Amino acid sequence: MKKAAKVAAGKTVAKKVTAKKTAAKKAAKVPAKKAATKKAAPRVTAKVTKKAATKVSAKKAPAKVPAKKAAAAAKVTAKVTAKAAAKVTPTKAAAKVTPTKAAAKVTPTKAATKVTPKQAAPAATTGALSGWLQRLNAAIAALQAHPEVDVVANWQAPGATAAQLDAVEAKLGLKLDPAIRNLYQQVNGLALVWGPKGECPRSVKGRPTMMYIESLWGSRGAIFLYPIGEVFGVKGRPTFDYAQFMPGDPPHWGFDFPGNFYTPAFVQVGDELRVRVGDDHGAAWDGPTVSFERYLENVLASWGSIDQRAEQFVTGKGAAIKPMQLAKLLA
């Protein structure tokens, strides 16, 4: 029994010794690993520190980042500057306030177009009828400004050239009266139609047609002078020769068409041209023969009145008249 107890005690001691040795060995291994870990730690730390430092340096490095930002900023600035400049460029800015556009609203040319559309500057003339067109345009302006009047036709052609007037003389074989040359040098064709507001035919732009002139219901005033070359047929047949309805009579060249009932025409008397006004579409010519100057002065004094043509040159004696009041013609 005692031997068995000793053996058991020896085994127990041996186990304890073995356990201690094993623990010692384990302890010896663990510090080695820990030590190795401590040694490895500085390397890892060093690597991490270097990498972190490299990234941070790359981000914060003033040499690289500012250069890129500066370049980008330069591009953005250039674009913004270009766009801003495009908005305020002198050309565009000036376009809004250019004197041409600003003046377009109040330019004398536009203001005058209501009175004399597409009219060339008349040639300077002296003598009979030399200022007739200017006075007519003043009358047209007054008609347009009147609240009870509609001007439905207002056309004027540039004045005739000396060559065109010479061609007429060659065609007729006579010299034109100075009043005729003066008038057609100012305006070689014109049309004016006016009447009480709302009573005139539809308005027309440019040169009216003869059909339009022949349907002037409601109109009080009308002047429609044909270009002189067309009146006498310099390049063809005359516009209208009423002699075709009067066998044996000399030519009656129609030159003014205030509708189609009264028919002003040039007639040759001796070696000059005079004016007669026919009645009833040119069926009767019982009125006086007057000068071209007298005819146009009376037409202007009566605001181009159609009825006054008859009173002055059909039933009247063609005497000179004083300027009439517009109110009288509207009554």
Question: Percent of the chain, pLDDT > 90?
Answer: 59
Lowest mean pLDDT among 97-101, 277-281, 316-320: 97-101
Res 180 pLDDT > 60: yes
Looking at per-residue pLDDT, the higher value among 268 and 260 belongs to 268
Q: In this model, does residue 169 exceed pLDDT 60?
A: yes
User: What is the pLDDT confidence band of residue 121, given thresholds at 50, 70 and 90?
Assistant: low
Q: What is the mean pLDDT of residues 252-267?
A: 96
Q: Which two tokens stand for residue 247?
A: 């066998």
Domain 110-330 part of CATH 3.40.50.620: no
Which of 312, 270, 311, 310 is CA-nearest to residue 290?
312
Residues in contact with 259: Cβ distance below 8 Å, sequence separation at least 6, in sequence order? 213, 214, 216, 219, 222, 306
pLDDT in tens, 65-97: 444 444 444 444 444 344 443 443 333 333 333
- pTM of the entire structure? 0.65
Does 280 have pLDDT greater than 60? yes
Which strand ranges, in their side-by-side order, compose the sheet holding 253-254? 253-254, 263-269, 272-278
Lowest average pLDDT, out of 22-31, 158-167, 284-293, goes to: 22-31
Question: So where are the chain's domains?
Answer: 110-330
